[in-house]
């Protein structure tokens, strides 16, 4: 369950008085999701999603909401943030930073088809193109500096073999100059549970809260490592090709980007192997997350390196 913060109808009615969304009709907690509290809110003007942020601070919210606003205004499928009557996108409810966004008609899928992978690739390319004229900047909070620092506390807790794999791969990635590759706003967490699909079409990307600046191929690699990964934990060539073809139908990849793909996929493995190991060994106080299996990305990394 993921309604960590309860909201009463009276609180909701008072909250809605700051919006031009008609009268309150219904409030329903959303069971999925791990980090934040989410509700479906229905008013006489439609259905919306209310998020109460359990980790992000009020100051951090405007970047992500303005980014989603920019992307949705540029035909990228994602929720549209709803502004208050005073124009502000971020709000506060029950003592938590909060926002209302449009409700998308779709659902996430655990086992996508090749057609769905194609659509996701196409929408990711549209996002990269549209993000290139978003004027704000955000450094990647989970980039090279982060994994280099964080691996120091993980290495002593790992087997010799795993620690060597982690250390050597990080050294290889850090030695590679990826700053010359095309870059811009990336989603940086485009796993299957962060895309709502409607049939073969993308209803919307959600969860932009790791979005930042980075190279596009790395973003594509994060998506490939989840969308094309089978239950047996290997990359399915048909799904990978479909996602890449969808992407390239909007934004062709340069030769340098194509050559970088295998390394980008290793980087994407390291990013999530490290964050999952940190969640496992050092669960944050007031624990809200449940740990996803870190070994998946160690094993995928090994397979990629053996190819």
Ligand X SMILES: N[C@@H](CCO)C(=O)O
Q: C-beta of 98: minimal distance to ligand ATP in Å?
A: 12
Question: What is the spatial distance between Cα 179 and Cα 266, in angstroms, rounded to a whole number?
Answer: 17
Using the contact rule CB under 6 A, the part of the chain among 18-26, 34-42, 67-75, 211-219 near ligand ATP is: 34-42
Give the residue with the Cβ less far from ligand ATP, 173 or 197: 197
Q: Are 130 and 70 in contact (CB under 8 A)?
A: yes
Number of residues counted as binding ligand X (CB under 6 A): 6
Using the contact rule CB under 6 A, the part of the chain among 4-12, 30-38, 169-177, 211-219 near ligand ATP is: 30-38
Question: What is the spatial distance between Cα 143 and Cα 213, in angstroms, rounded to a whole number?
Answer: 10
Q: Are 266 and 173 in contact (CB under 8 A)?
A: yes
276 binds, among ligand X, ligand ATP, none (CB under 5 to 8 A by kind): ligand X
Q: C-beta of 170: minimal distance to ligand X in Å?
A: 18
Does 190 help bind ligand ATP (rule: CB under 6 A)? no
Does 229 help bind ligand X (rule: CB under 6 A)? no
Question: What is the spatial distance between Cα 240 and Cα 218, in angstroms, rounded to a whole number?
Answer: 14
Question: What is the spatial distance between Cα 88 and Cα 77, in angstroms, rounded to a whole number?
Answer: 22
Q: C-beta of 303: minimal distance to ligand X in Å?
A: 18
Binding-site string for ligand X from residue 245 to residue 284, where x marks contact by CB under 6 A and - marks none: ---------------------------x--xx--------
Does 126 help bind ligand X (rule: CB under 6 A)? no
292 binds, among ligand ATP, ligand X, none (CB under 5 to 8 A by kind): ligand X
Q: C-beta of 223: minimal distance to ligand X in Å?
A: 11
Enter the tokens of residue 126.
Answer: 């549209």
Sign of CA dihedral 53, 58, 60, 63: positive
| Exposure b/e, 56-69, CB count within 10 A at least 16 = b | beeeebbbbbbbbb
**290, 268, 265: which is closest to 280 by C-alpha?**
290
- Within residues 36-55, the interface with ligand ATP by CB under 6 A covers 36, 38, 49, 51
How far from 236 is each of 33, 58, 278, 279, 288, CA to CA, in Å? 27, 41, 28, 28, 33
From the list 108, 115, 241, 279, which residue makes contact with ligand ATP (rule: CB under 6 A)?
A: 108
Q: Are 121 and 246 in contact (CB under 8 A)?
A: yes
**34, 26, 28, 45: which is closest to 2 by C-alpha?**
34
The strand pairing partners of 196, in sequence order, are 204
Binding-site string for ligand X from residue 179 to residue 208, where x marks contact by CB under 6 A and - marks none: ----------x-x-----------------
Using the contact rule CB under 6 A, the part of the chain among 9-17, 35-43, 64-72, 118-126 near ligand ATP is: 35-43
Contact residues: ligand ATP, CB under 6 A: 2, 30, 32-36, 38, 49, 51, 79, 101, 103-104, 108, 193, 206-207
Footprint on this chain of ligand X (rule: CB under 6 A): 189, 191, 272, 275-276, 292
């Amino acid at each position: 369950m993921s309604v960590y913060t309860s909201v009463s109808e009276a609180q909701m009615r008072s909250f809605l008085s700051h919006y031009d969304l008609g009268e309150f009709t219904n409030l329903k907690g959303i069971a999925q999701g791990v980090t934040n509290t989410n509700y479906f809110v229905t008013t006489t003007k439609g259905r919306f999603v209310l998020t109460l942020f359990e980790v992000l601070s009020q100051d951090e919210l405007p970047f992500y909401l303005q980014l989603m606003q920019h992307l949705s205004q540029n035909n990228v499928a994602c929720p549209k943030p709803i502004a208050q009557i005073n124009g502000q996108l971020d709000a506060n409810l029950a003592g938590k930073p909060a926002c209302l966004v449009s409700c998308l008609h779709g659902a996430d899928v655990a086992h996508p088809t090749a057609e769905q992978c194609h659509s996701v690739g196409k929408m990711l390319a549209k996002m990269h193109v549209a993000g290139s004229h978003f004027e704000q900047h955000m450094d990647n909070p989970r980039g090279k500096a982060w994994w280099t620092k964080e691996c120091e506390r993980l290495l002593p807790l790992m087997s010799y073999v795993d620690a060597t794999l982690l250390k050597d791969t990080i050294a290889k990635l850090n030695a590679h100059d990826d700053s010359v590759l095309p870059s811009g706003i990336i989603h940086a967490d485009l796993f299957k549970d962060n895309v709502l699909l409607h049939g073969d079409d993308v209803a919307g990307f959600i969860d932009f809260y790791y979005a930042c600046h980075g190279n596009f191929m790395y973003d594509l690699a994060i998506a490939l490592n989840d969308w094309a990964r089978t239950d047996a934990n290997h990359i399915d060539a048909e799904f990978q090709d479909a996602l890449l073809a969808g992407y390239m139908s909007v934004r062709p990849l340069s030769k340098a980007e194509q050559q970088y793909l295998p390394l980008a996929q290793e980087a994407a493995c390291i990013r999530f192997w490290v964050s999952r190991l940190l969640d496992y060994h050092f669960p944050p106080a007031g624990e809200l997350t449940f740990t996803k299996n870190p070994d998946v990305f160690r094993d995928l990394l090994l397979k990629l390196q053996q190819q």
